[in-house]
Amino acid sequence: MDVADLLKTAQGLERRGRTYYMEAAERVSDPVVKAVCVALGRDEEEHGEIVNLFYAALEKTEDWPKPADLDSQPKSARERLDEIVGDTAGAISPGDSYMDVYQSALELERETLVFYKKGEASTDDPALIKFFRYLWHTEKTHAEMLHALLEATRQAAEA
């Protein structure tokens, strides 16, 4: 895959992730599940904007953009979840439909993680390596959040 194909695929993955999360947020009634989906959907939208900047630079044969986000360290999964759950003043609710939302999202995140790791390995361009690493780390945080939510939901169902 050349760089243009990598970026087009990344655009599609981020768009698919955003769509999934926003549609899931519309379907669920639980405020915590809704807040998680909205937050992750917004993240995917931001990732898509970064991918679009890189694609636009490629099309214009410009230097790679230098978004400040690429230099930031993503918050941990626990920090993100604490913020989201704290903002909703909610608690994890048991429910098979919520587990399905989290499980489907986790599968999507895992697919994206594999893609970004392959993207990083496919280039020796330092800016692209940084780009793919940043996206991989943020998607890894999403996967960790979803895994934690699955476990908490299972525990709530067993209680």
- Residue-wise pLDDT tens digits, 108-118: 999 999 999 99
Provide the sign of the torsion angle of the four alpha carbons 5, 66, 121, 112, taken in this order. negative
* Mean pLDDT of the 78-107 span: 76
Give me the residue label for tokens 């499980």. 103
pLDDT above 90: residue 52: yes
pTM, 2 dp: 0.88
Q: If one looks up domain 3-158 in CATH, what number appears?
A: 1.20.1260.10
Query: Contact at 8 Å (CB) between 107 and 154?
Result: no
pLDDT digits (tens, 9 = 90+) for 72-91: 877 888 888 888 877 665 55
The domain locations on the chain are 3-158
User: Does 118 or 30 have the greater pLDDT score?
Assistant: 118
Q: What does pLDDT average to over the chain? A: 89
Query: Contact at 8 Å (CB) between 61 and 12?
Result: no
Q: Which residues of 44-72 are buried (b: 16+ CB within 10 A; e: fewer)?
A: beebbebbebbbeebeeeeebeeeeeeee
Tokens of 10: 């990344």
